[in-house]
Structures are given as C-alpha cells and as structure tokens.
Amino acid sequence: MIAESLFAVLFPSDCRICGTPLVRISRLPVCQECLDAMRPIAGGVCAICGERLFSSYAFAGAPGEPRCGLCRRIEPAFARATAYGSYESGLRELIHLLKYGGVRPAADVLGRMLAEAIAALEPDFPADSVALVPVPLHRTKFRQRGFNQAELIARAAMKVSRPGDRLRLCAGVLERKRDTTSQTGLTSHQRRENLRGAFGVAQSEAVKGREALVVDDVYTTGATVSECARVLRRAGATKVWVATVARTLKISAQHVEIGPGDEVEELSDAHEVPLARAVGG
C-alpha cells in the first residue's frame, strides 16, 4: 500500500474521475477541473434538513423558514442539517475514492467542504463548545476499511473550520452496535427496527447537557443521522446539529410531492444507497 501510493506520487497517472492525464504531481489523483466542478448546493433548500425546495412548493402557506413536506409533517430529531454539495457526479466519485478506493488524501478536500457546511450552522452554535461526533462504522466494517471516513473528514474539517476552536472531537461517543448494511429483504417496519438500536452512546458524559454536531460523508434519507441524533438526545445532548459533505437532492418538483414513497425512503439506511451504487458502478 505504501509502495503503491509512493508510485502514484512519483508517476502521476490519470484523473480518477474524468481520466484526463494529470499534469501536476499530487497526492490526490484528481484534476483541478474536476475539483472546481464540485460546487456548493445552489438555490432554495429546506431550513431544517437541507432538501431542495421548489418555489411553487416551498413557501406555500408556511410561515417562517421554508420547510420540505417531510419536515412539516415530522419534527426531525436534529435541529438542522446542512450539506456542502449535491451527492452526484464528481463529488460522489470523490467520496467513493476515499471510502472504496482508500484514497485518503481525498479526506482533506472533503474536510474543507464539510467545514463550509459547518460554517452555515456556526451562528446558532452555543458560546462554549459543541461535541463533534462522526457517525461511527461497525467494527467489522472498520476493520475491512481500515478507517472511518466520517472521522477522517471531521478531523480535516477541524483544521480549517472557523468555529473549529469551539468543536471538540468526540469520536468515541457513539458506537455502532450492529452492522446495518444488510437490510435487503426487510420490510419498511423491519428496516426501522433494524436501525433502531443500531447505535449506542458509549460516553454519555461527553454529550450530557451539551450540544452535539453529527458529521458524515453523505446524507441520503437522513435515517442514519436521525437515529444518531435520537440516541444522543436520549443521552442528554441538549440539541443535535448535522453536517455532511454531500446530500442527495430531489431533482424535480414532481418528486417533492408528499407520497407514501417518502416514508418508505426515509426508513432505509443512508449507507445502503452509496454502497449499492458503488458496486453497480
């Protein structure tokens, strides 16, 4: 592995995202054009969960901050979730390079993006300190991967984050007690039950009476971070914020309509989708 990465440094290859030959020697095998294309989410989003809103829908009859249909119906366990970019094309591939390709230098770039997502929450942070809690991996998956991408990204974000001095990394606070990535064949109810109890608070003194910030690489349905927020609050956290590098976004107004499908989607494990996509290419 060391020899392999040394080889990559000495002999730059092609951009792992677009395939263009790299002109600069870099620890990260991604070209500048691809990095520049990873833009922050633009346009209106739900003030609570960060879901994309469409003008005809977002402000209809809702006083105060615009909320998506889901957040109007159900108050999430977290106070607010922000994300840097849309979970698609280049950004998705960059996250996959880290998670499935083991390209650890990608964590530095993703950390800078996470820092921007955190900065959006900063005005509402308390004056003292916020417990920074990366979503944990189950120990089996941790052993397979060799690292927890959420923690690597969180550490990188702390180096550049403006509110970084108020953040206290509490990587051991949450533990994943069950590997929930195998949820196929389960009904919606069984999936929810499967995720319930998947996380435990190992060090409740670190969050008791404090606010916490849960960070992860991707927010897909929000099921995982919601469950993390729920157990943190049960352990005494006064408020839980969420920041992720990327978020899946509704692509058109017609998909924003509330239907039975939204509920089903909300119950699936957030980690299932990227894994399935990675396997399928």
Beta bridge partners of 21: 14
Where do the DSSP E strands lie in the chain?
A: 80-86, 130-134, 167-169, 174-176, 199-201, 211-219, 239-247
Decide if residue 15 touches Zn ion (CB under 5 A). Answer: yes
Decide if residue 258 touches Zn ion (CB under 5 A). Answer: no
Task: Return all residues near 220 (Cβ < 8 A) that are at least 6 apart.
Answer: 87, 247, 248, 268, 270, 271, 272, 273, 274
- Of 17 and 58, nearer to Zn ion (C-beta) is 17
CB 85 within 8 A of CB 245: yes
- Of 137 and 243, nearer to Zn ion (C-beta) is 243
Decide if residue 225 touches Zn ion (CB under 5 A). Answer: no
Tell the smallest beta-carbon distance from residue 81 to Zn ion (Å): 8
CB 242 within 8 A of CB 78: yes
Decide if residue 22 touches Zn ion (CB under 5 A). Answer: no
> In whole angstroms, what is the distance from residue 151 CA to residue 135 CA?
8
Decide if residue 93 touches Zn ion (CB under 5 A). Answer: no
**One character per residue 33-72, x = contact with Zn ion (rule: CB under 5 A):** -x-----------x-xx-x----------------x--x-
Which is it for the CA torsion 181, 187, 192, 197, positive or negative?
negative
Decide if residue 216 touches Zn ion (CB under 5 A). Answer: no
**Residue count, binding to Zn ion (CB under 5 A):** 11
Decide if residue 91 touches Zn ion (CB under 5 A). Answer: no
- Of 31 and 132, nearer to Zn ion (C-beta) is 31
Decide if residue 110 touches Zn ion (CB under 5 A). Answer: no
Task: Tell me which residues touch Zn ion (CB under 5 A).
Answer: 15, 17-18, 31, 34, 46, 48-49, 51, 68, 71
